[in-house]
Chains A and B, each alone.
Chain A
Amino acid sequence: AQSVTQPDIHITVSEGASLELRCNYSYGATPYLFWYVQSPGQGLQLLLKYFSGDTLVQGIKGFEAEFKRSQSSFNLRKPSVHWSDAAEYFCAVGGFTSGTYKYIFGTGTRLKVLA
């Protein structure tokens, strides 16, 4: 069965600083990987996704993520954080479980940005 771990529950960074949010997954085959952002009371917005090919993926809002098969990781990065990036970030793995394709979400990382 697939699983996703986001080790950091909370992260605080200063505006303008770089950011890395960690995501580790467990899945027997090549997974489909996603990062979503959620503002309070809102739905999910897709930041980026990885299916195959180039392991460095560019997304919206200046985010990027790198798929590292050897480390079973798909960490999200941003070189310079803006105050508007404060939100909850979820990593998700798409894969087949008992013949059904589904997503498994990580527990989320709450980002706080200091002015």
Chain B
Amino acid sequence: GAVVSQHPSRVICKSGTSVKIECRSLDFQATTMFWYRQFPKQSLMLMATSNEGSKATYEQGVEKDKFLINHASLTLSTLTVTSAHPEDSSFYICSADSQGVEQFFGPGTRLTVL
């Protein structure tokens, strides 16, 4: 149980385009979903926290207009990187919890912006 999927696993896009990443909880309802960013050989940095039906809460320094988060249902959250640039290239990981203290992580999405 407690499986989280992400789609796509890899995406390559041109500079200036927008990219959407989906995060789904497959076998439980996720009260809260989290989006992390991980640069090569670095740790995970929390970008934002989203609750179903509410606006996401962004961490300090994260541009909310650049990284749009939508948590439309209890099983789906999406992260849209708008007008992507090469510096947005990174590994994006989502996680979800169900009113507990443990987060369940997705497999990650590798974004490369050319």
The chain A residues found within 8 Å of chain B, CB to CB, are 32, 34, 36, 41-44, 46, 49, 51, 90, 94, 100-108, 110
A101 surroundings in chain B (CB, below 8 A): 32, 97, 101
Given contacts A43-B106, A44-B93, A104-B46, 11 further A-B contacts (CB under 8 A): A32-B101, A36-B105, A41-B108, A42-B108, A43-B107, A100-B49, A101-B32, A102-B49, A103-B34, A105-B45, A110-B41
* Chain B residues within CB distance 8 Å of chain A: 32, 34, 41-46, 49, 57, 91, 93, 95, 97, 101-103, 105-108, 110
**Contact of B46 with A103 in the complex, beta carbons under 8 Å:** yes
Residues of B within 8 A of A107 (CB): 42-43
Chain A contact residues, majority secondary structure: strand
Question: Please, which residues of chain B bring their CB within 8 A of the CB of A106?
Answer: 43
Residue in B42, B46, B103 with the greatest tally of chain A CB atoms within 10 Å: B103
- A100 and B57 within 8 A (CB): yes
B43 surroundings in chain A (CB, below 8 A): 90, 105-108
* Of B34, B95, B102, B107, the contact of A32 (CB 8 Å cutoff): B102
CB distance from B107 to the nearest CB of A (A): 4
Contact B102 A102 (CB under 8 A): no
A102 to B41, CA, bound (A): 22
